[in-house]
Amino acid sequence: MTLSVDQVLTRGVAEVLPKKETLAKLMSERKIRLYLGIDPTGAHLTLGHAVQLRKLQQFADLGHEVILLIGNGTVRIGDPTGKDSTRPMLTDEEIKANFEDWKRQAEKVLDFSTIEIKYNGDWLDALTYADMVKLMANVTVQQLMERDMFQDRLKAGKPIHGHEIMYPLLQGYDSVAMEVDLELGGTDQTFNMLMGRTLLRQYKQKEKWVIANPIINGTDGRKMSKSYGNYIALDEAPNEMFGKIMSMKDAEMLTYFEIFTTEDLADAAALIKSSPRDAKVKLAKHIVTWLHSAADAESAYQDFVTKFVKHEVPTDMPAFSVGGSSIGILDLITKTCGFAASNGEARRIVEQGGVSLDGEKIEDPKAEVVLSSESQVLKVGKRKFASVTS
């Protein structure tokens, strides 16, 4: 579905700088050129990334000239946002492989036939010493240090490496090199994106707009992050995705509705209030349909009801054959099914009463289970099921 210009500039957008109205006017007069920059590190894409990608695609759908920029030049520094660890150097082959993987995940959200791909290494690697001096002369150290995360690190006594303060300049130079009208990014990129605005004006006397998209919280209401384990990956299986959305905090729902659906927000808010569970089911179906299919969404819903509402055994589950008539329970969990990372972990789950076979609880870690050609259902924890046979 193609949204109107006003919807694209409003819904799921945190900020349009310097002004929404002037950008809307430009978009009505001609096709604009815009871009989103991505890191070529081996990222596992989440709904957090999808916020950006979805917005990018909306511009493509409106027929604008959309560029996806691979940061194979800026990756030498690594955006200092968040982490302070030094990035490893990536070879061209690794970058290519990473992008292929990235593309596979992003295909669910982006239509690559409508998007042009560029690499900023093409111009950044070509900068000479003189170019770098000229680039750096455009700003003061104080301006660079204004960035919130540098201030945070200063306060926390954390290191800021010399090359890191160049990141905004290099990202900003991308805007100069491509002469874009607009850049998209998360609100955490505002500083970098505005640097591009400054540089573009200084180098080419050209105006550039910036759209900052919201950073969504993870399912537990905190910042979506690997270390919290609260993210939803784009290549998540339908059932997992559905379950994760259902386990999200109620308070996060409305934002997700705003960003990932076209639902009327007043209606969504009313539904959340009257029946949070139904609202969540609706949201989960929406998102699974978007990233998988309507059929997957329906079957994920059914699976969810069976497993968690009725506490019954799901219909499909992985099947394992152990190649023998009996096996130690720990080996079965760890080696055969891969449900635990180590024997110790499996032992713990067993001792804590989290394991059952055909509904029969197994609490002795030394137990030998007898298997036949008839499949039995192994349950480990709340959500791991397997069908096991000899």
Partner RNA sequence: GGGUAGUUAGCGAAGUGGCCAAACGCAUCUGACUGUAAAUCAGACGACUCCGUCUUCGGGGGUUCGAAUCCCUCACUGCCCA
Q: What are phi and psi of 157, to 5 degrees?
A: 70, 25
Q: What are phi and psi of 349, to 5 degrees?
A: -60, -40
Residue 276 lies near RNA (rule: CB under 7 A)? yes
Q: How far apart are CA 230 and CA 186, in angstroms?
A: 18
Q: Shortest distance, CB of residue 227 to RNA, whole angstroms?
A: 6
Q: Shortest distance, CB of residue 264 to RNA, whole angstroms?
A: 20
Question: Per CB under 7 A, which of residues 148..187 are in contact with RNA?
Answer: 154, 157-161
Stretch that binds RNA, among 12-20, 107-115, 188-196, 342-350 (CB under 7 A): 342-350
Q: Are 64 and 229 in contact (CB under 8 A)?
A: no
Residue 377 lies near RNA (rule: CB under 7 A)? no
The one among 81, 198, 306, 343 contacting RNA by CB under 7 A: 343
Of the pair 34, 350, the CB lying nearest RNA is at: 350
Contact characters 292-321, RNA, x per CB under 7 A: ------------x--xxx------------
Tokens of 40: 């070529």
Helix (H, G, I), strand (E, B) or coil at 83: coil
Q: Shortest distance, CB of residue 291 to RNA, whole angstroms?
A: 16
The one among 325, 326, 342, 372 contacting RNA by CB under 7 A: 342
Q: Are 10 and 269 in contact (CB under 8 A)?
A: no
Q: Shortest distance, CB of residue 255 to RNA, whole angstroms?
A: 14
11: left (phi over 0), alpha (psi -120 to 50) or beta: beta
The one among 46, 58, 171, 230 contacting RNA by CB under 7 A: 230
Of the pair 14, 237, the CB lying nearest RNA is at: 237
Residue 352 lies near RNA (rule: CB under 7 A)? yes
Task: Specify the amino acid at residue 375.
Answer: S
Of the pair 204, 383, the CB lying nearest RNA is at: 383
Q: Are 368 and 329 in contact (CB under 8 A)?
A: yes
381: left (phi over 0), alpha (psi -120 to 50) or beta: left
Crossing angle of helices 253-260 and 276-291, rounded to 10°: 30
Residue 220 lies near RNA (rule: CB under 7 A)? yes
Question: Per CB under 7 A, which of residues 25..84 are in contact with RNA?
Answer: none
Residues 6 or more apart in contact with residue 155 via CB below 8 angstroms = none
Task: Specify the amino acid at residue 308.
Answer: F
The one among 22, 92, 353, 370 contacting RNA by CB under 7 A: 353
Residue 248 lies near RNA (rule: CB under 7 A)? yes
Residue for token digits 């055994």? 313
Residues in contact with RNA, counted by CB under 7 A, come to a total of 45
Residues in the site for RNA, rule: CB under 7 A? 154, 157-161, 220, 227-230, 239-240, 242-244, 246-250, 276-277, 280, 304, 307-309, 330, 341-345, 347-349, 352-354, 380-384
